[in-house]
Amino acid sequence: MPSAAKLHFSLHSKNADRARPPLIFIHGAGGSLLTFHPELRRLQNETIYALDLPAHGESAGEGRTSVEAYADNVLDFMKSMDIDSAVVCGHSMGGAIALTLALKNPQTVRALALLGGGAKLRVAQSILDLLEDPAMFKSAVERINRACFSAAASPDLVALSQRNMERVAPSVLSGDFRACNLFDATTRLAEINCPTLILCGADDRMTPPKHSQYLKENLPDSQFHLLENCGHLLTLEQPQEVARLLKKFLEEIYE
């Protein structure tokens, strides 16, 4: 797997329209590029970079404790790959990173796709306490992972997701959730003028639909779609529908 700016990534560019900016996929807390189903990472006729953030997936280094620090890592990646502007697609914490990029470096963001996200990502104190105790790490992962899926999700998918999250170092997962808890862009959304796609699972218990609705009401150029019978990890539960809506959004902004 290639790397740039110390981030491992996957690249899909088969039959891509080179006139379009690429897509950059950014995963959420405790995730990796595998958060994005192959259906998404191989979206037809698009150039797509899916990243592993520092200390996640195949990327080395140390995890960060702020969304801003992760956003700086993504910006460094874009610079190293000579990407002037991209459609930035973020899941959960990845959506917070995407919003931060749009606020700090608006010239680098052609459009946004926010999946299971919010303008702020407060975390229950009970979760933060569990994550601070290494002896309770597995219990914390089980609780978080269970809350990421709807009742319709297959047991095999839920089990695979848990195994992947357990590979993340306890300190990294704890730092991710602390970063989420500190994130708050509620007072600055009106500054973001790029086209934005907002998707959320109707059964999302991590960032319930009200958070996506708030984004829709406060981002000037946005559209919102609610996916029924779907939880927080909509990129794995309903990848075909997410891919369809994302592709439709891209066609609309480039027509």
Token pair, residue 226, equals 């609610």
How confident is the model over 175-223, as pLDDT tens digits? 999 999 999 999 999 999 999 999 999 999 999 999 999 999 999 999 9
Q: How far apart are CA 205 and CA 109, in angstroms?
A: 29
Under a CB-based contact definition with an 8 Å cutoff, are residues 213 and 119 in contact?
A: no
Q: pLDDT, tens digit, for every residue of 55-73?
A: 999 999 999 999 999 999 9
Helix axis angle for 170-182 and 125-132, nearest 10°, is: 150
CA nearest to 37, candidates 160, 121, 155: 160
Percent residues over pLDDT 90 in the chain: 95
pLDDT band at 14 (very low <50, low <70, confident <90, very high): confident
User: All domains of the chain, ordered by start, with CATH?
Assistant: 3-254 (3.40.50.1820)
> What gap in Å lies between CA 234 and CA 239, rounded to an integer?
7
pLDDT band, very low/low/confident/very high, at 9 (cuts 50, 70, 90): very high
What number is the average pLDDT over the span 1-16? 92
Residues ≥6 apart with Cβ < 8 Å to 114? 90, 95, 98, 99, 196, 197, 198, 199, 212, 215
pTM of the model: 0.97
- Bigger pLDDT: 241 vs 254: 241
Rama region for 61: left / alpha / beta (φ>0; ψ in -120 to 50; rest):
left
